[in-house]
């Protein structure tokens, strides 16, 4: 199926960051980079189990990997990066694991504030943030405030996030505005509705990457991903490198994004 690309043991064998490798960069079309990349970071638990480690150690390695990929995306000039860090459904995991994840999140945001400031990265959280521990909410608010004037890549962290809940909450806000006569029902459009989502002022993701080989989007950006290109790799998140990131982007650049049009219509439009 064209929408999914699965990589099975086919990796670029370059040493160091592929983003700085002359062959890798030569293949990349800098004029056709995805503006917005979203990533479902899956496989921390399996990565740990394969190494007879506990799940927390897997999550710790996953946090380190997130830092690496954020830096690579910023170097490339990606405008928006959205990482699926903690879903609404993840609250049902063992309490010890959830507490450890909250601790990792808090420590990571504290330690990475300097990096985000130095690299001109804006930080934003999306999701039902009020469900998070107060101490975590405080750190999130501080980092968002400290980076709000940065003009480089925007890093979105999806926390306590549910795509369905996001849509429901948007409908509620829209209904309230209709009741308050701020807008008329006849004026409601898809673009207007998009403005009520957590990602209201951002472009939809161009590329959605899922690690660990699972063939689903797990309640992530359901509205926004309507025409997003999906890329699935069997690589577990802690093993995902700049090489894999580049491979996903190169695959994206070889696709024809038609948005419901025919190939002929696209050629005519491009010729104008």
pLDDT, greater one: 141 or 9: 141
Q: What is the reported pLDDT for 7?
A: 42
Q: What is the reported pLDDT for 10?
A: 36
Catalytic site residue from 42, 44, 204, 206: 42
pLDDT band at residue 180 using 50, 70 and 90 as cut-offs: very high
For residue 100, count other CB atoms closer than 10 A to its CB: 18
* 5, pLDDT greater than 50: no
Beta carbons of 141 and 123 less than 8 angstroms apart: no
Contacts by 250-256 with C-beta closer than 8 Å and gap 24+?
A: 250/27, 250/28, 251/5, 252/34, 252/206, 252/207, 253/28, 253/29, 253/32, 255/2, 255/229
- As a whole number of angstroms, the distance between CA 233 and CA 240 comes to 9
- As a whole number of angstroms, the distance between CA 18 and CA 9 comes to 17
The tens digit of pLDDT for each residue in 196-239 reads 999 999 999 999 999 999 999 999 999 999 999 999 999 999 99
- As a whole number of angstroms, the distance between CA 58 and CA 220 comes to 22
For residue 136, count other CB atoms closer than 10 A to its CB: 20
Instruction: Give every CB contact of residue 196 below 8 A, 6+ residues apart in sequence.
Output: 170, 171, 173, 174
Residue 239: active-site member: no
* 64, pLDDT greater than 90: yes
* 268, pLDDT greater than 90: no
CATH 3.40.50.2300 for domain 30-161+204-271, yes or no, is no
The number of helix segments (H) and strand segments (E) in the chain equals 9, 7
Identify the sign of the CA torsion 249, 13, 76, 47: positive
Catalytic site residue from 44, 54, 90, 119: 90
pLDDT, greater one: 154 or 18: 154
For residue 50, count other CB atoms closer than 10 A to its CB: 13
pLDDT band at residue 257 using 50, 70 and 90 as cut-offs: confident
Q: Which two structure tokens, joined as six digits, stand for 3?
A: 């929408």
Residue 42: active-site member: yes
- Summarize the confidence of residues 246-262 as an average pLDDT: 85
């Amino acid at each position: 199926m064209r929408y999914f690309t699965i990589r099975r043991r086919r990796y670029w064998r370059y040493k160091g960051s592929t983003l700085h490798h002359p062959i890798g960069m030569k293949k990349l079309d800098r004029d056709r980079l995805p503006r917005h990349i979203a990533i479902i970071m899956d496989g921390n638990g399996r990565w740990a189990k394969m190494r007879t480690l506990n799940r927390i150690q897997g999550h710790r390695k996953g946090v380190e990997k997130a830092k690496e990929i954020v830096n690579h995306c910023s170097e490339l000039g990606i405008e928006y990066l959205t990482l699926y860090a903690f879903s609404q459904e993840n609250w049902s995991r063992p309490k010890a694991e959830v507490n450890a994840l909250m601790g990792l999140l808090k420590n990571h945001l504290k330690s990475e504030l300097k990096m985000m400031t130095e690299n001109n990265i804006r930080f934003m959280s999306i999701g039902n943030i009020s469900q998070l521990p107060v101490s975590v909410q405080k750190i999130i608010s501080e980092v968002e405030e400290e980076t709000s004037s940065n003009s480089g890549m925007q890093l979105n962290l999806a926390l306590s996030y549910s795509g369905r809940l996001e849509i429901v909450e948007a409908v509620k806000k829209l209904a309230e505005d209709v009741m308050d006569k701020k807008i008329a029902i006849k004026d409601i459009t898809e673009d207007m509705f998009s403005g009520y989502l957590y990602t209201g002022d951002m472009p939809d993701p161009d590329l959605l990457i899922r690690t660990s080989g699972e063939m689903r989007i797990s309640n992530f950006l359901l509205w926004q991903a309507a025409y997003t290109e999906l890329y699935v790799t069997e690589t577990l998140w802690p093993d995902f490198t700049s090489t894999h990131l580049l491979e996903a982007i190169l695959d994206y650049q070889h696709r024809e994004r038609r948005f419901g049009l025919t190939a002929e219509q696209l050629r005519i439009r491009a010729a104008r």
